[in-house]
């Protein structure tokens, strides 16, 4: 188990560095950062001065090394737009995104797992068909459009929920549903498929032969095994979700990290964008790492080699 964890950790670190190198080079090779800071009316002298000040005239590898060295220490440089340390800027916004992410994954799990289990217990029943419809529709639903429709219905027509902002818990209801619905179909399908397989497993028959009741067979013997892949999928979905929060946050003007990313991209605020890409990647890497470890812990075949 320890060897497995260490190996997995090493891979995670390596992936993180590679992602940082790729995103740094993409952003730095594709645009001219000095022009972005100086604005369109800048003279050549202005640009030269900025180049000198920010060190854009130095070799690329040197810039990357310096940025990475600082980033590892938690210093992501100054925002071109806010003229504030990027780290502070993001730390401020991250809690909103994390709240949204946790709410959304909880919403997805709380709806998808029971639906998937019910659908698997009675295949081809009405509930199975409803679950299938919800998941198929969810996969095709553009989340930004779903968000707008929710605003039209719940904020404008019925005036039940605030359309934008992040002040109270009521502001989080619609974003949670929109972002959660995005992750739900995959979780539901996996739960259903896993339960179907497990309910036909020999050990479930053994449990029934022992005289275990339906509930005990379902939860203790079947779900316990079917849930293992769902745990790892949820972690992956959580990673994707934080990345996808950019769309949802911009619709509901939820002032989180995703909203900051969208604004910063529009302002060509490279250090902020760079840091956000790296942070979102790190979250994904961290969640998949945790899910692999959780999987190993949940599945004795990995835990006790």
Partner 1 sequence: MNDPILNVKNLTVDIPVSGGTLHAVRGIDFELNRGETLCIVGESGSGKSLTSLAVMGLLGKRLQVRADKMEFEGRDLGSMPQRQMQALRGDRMAMIFQEPMTSLNPAYTIGDQLCEALRLHRKVSKAEAMARAADLLGKVGITAAESRLRQFPHQLSGGLRQRVMIAMSLMCEPDLIIADEPTTALDVTIQAQILRLLADLKREMNMALILVTHDLGVVARIADKVAVMYAGEIVESGSAKEIFDAPSHPYTRGLLNCIPVPGKTKPGEPLGSIPGIVPSLIGDVSGCAFRSRCNQAIEACASTVPERSAGGEHKYRCIHTQLTSEVA
Partner 2 sequence: MTSASAQTSESIVAVSRSVLLRRRVFGHYGLLFGLAVLGIVVAAAVFAPLLAEHSPYTQNLAARMKPPFWMAGSDPSHLLGTDQLGRDYLARLLYGARISLLIGLVTALISGLIGTALGVAAGYFGGKVDLAVTFLINVRLAMPVVLVALAIVALFGGSLQIVILVLGFLLWDRFAVVMRSSVMQIRGLEYVNAARAIGCSTPRILLSEIMPNVANNLIVVMTLEMAHAILLEAALSFLGLGVQPPTPSWGLMISEGKEMMLFQPWLITIPGIALFLLVLAINLLGDGLRDVTAPEAKG
Q: Which does 231 bind (CB under 5 to 8 A by kind): partner 1, partner 2, none?
A: none
Taking the least distance from each CB to partner 2, the nearer of 55 and 123 is 123
The residues near 240 (Cβ < 8 Å, ≥ 6 apart) are 183, 284
164: left (phi over 0), alpha (psi -120 to 50) or beta: beta
150 binds partner 2 (CB under 8 A): no
Looking at residues 179 to 238 of the shown chain, list those that interact with partner 1 (rule: CB under 8 A). Answer: 201-203, 205-213, 221, 224-225
182: its two tokens: 């995005």
The residues near 198 (Cβ < 8 Å, ≥ 6 apart) are 204, 222, 223, 225, 226
Helix axes 270-298, 257-266, angle to 10 degrees: 150
Which of the 8 DSSP states describes residue 252? T
Taking the least distance from each CB to partner 2, the nearer of 50 and 242 is 242
Listed residue (278, 234, 208, 209) closest to 102, CA to CA: 234
**Minimum distance from residue 258 beta carbon to partner 2 (Å):** 8
**What x/- string results for residues 236 through 275 when contact with partner 2 is judged by CB under 8 A?**
---xx-xxx-xx--x----------xx--xx-x----x--
Taking the least distance from each CB to partner 1, the nearer of 98 and 201 is 201
**Residues that contact partner 1, how many (by CB under 8 A):** 20
Listed residue (40, 21, 37) closest to 29, CA to CA: 21
Taking the least distance from each CB to partner 1, the nearer of 7 and 220 is 220
Q: Which does 299 bind (CB under 5 to 8 A by kind): partner 1, partner 2, none?
A: partner 1
Overall residue count recorded for the chain in this entry: 305
92 binds partner 1 (CB under 8 A): no
Residues that bind partner 1 (CB under 8 A): 201-203, 205-213, 221, 224-225, 298-301, 304
């Amino acid at each position: 188990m320890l060897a497995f964890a260490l190996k997995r950790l090493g891979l995670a670190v390596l992936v993180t560095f590679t992602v940082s190198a790729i995103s740094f080079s993409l952003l730095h090779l594709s645009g001219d950062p000095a022009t972005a800071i100086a604005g369109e009316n800048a003279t050549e002298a202005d640009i030269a001065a900025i180049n000198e000040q920010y060190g854009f005239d130095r070799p690329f590898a040197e810039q990357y090394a310096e940025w990475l060295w600082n980033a590892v220490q938690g210093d992501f440089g100054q925002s071109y737009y806010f003229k504030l340390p990027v780290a502070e800027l993001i730390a401020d916004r991250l809690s909103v995104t994390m709240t949204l992410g946790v709410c959304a994954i909880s919403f997805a799990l709380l709806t998808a797992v029971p639906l998937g289990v019910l659908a698997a217990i009675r295949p081809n029943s009405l509930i199975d068909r409803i679950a299938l419809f919800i998941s198929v529709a969810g996969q095709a639903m553009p989340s930004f459009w779903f968000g707008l429709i929710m605003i039209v219905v719940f904020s404008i027509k019925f005036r039940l929920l605030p359309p934008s902002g992040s002040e109270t818990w009521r502001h989080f209801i619609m974003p949670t549903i929109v972002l959660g619905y995005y992750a739900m179909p995959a979780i539901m399908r996996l739960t259903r498929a896993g339960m179907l397989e497990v309910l036909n497993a020999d050990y479930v028959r053994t449990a029934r032969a022992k005289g275990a009741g339906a509930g005990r067979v379902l939860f203790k013997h079947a779900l316990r095994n079917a849930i293992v892949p769902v745990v790892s999928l949820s972690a992956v979905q959580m990673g994707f979700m934080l990345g996808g929060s950019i769309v949802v946050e911009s619709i509901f003007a939820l002032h989180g990290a995703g909203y900051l990313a969208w604004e910063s991209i529009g302002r060509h605020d490279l250090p902020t964008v760079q840091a956000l890409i790296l942070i979102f990647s790190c979250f994904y890497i961290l969640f998949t790492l945790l899910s692999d470890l959780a999987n190993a812990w949940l599945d004795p075949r990995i835990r006790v080699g």
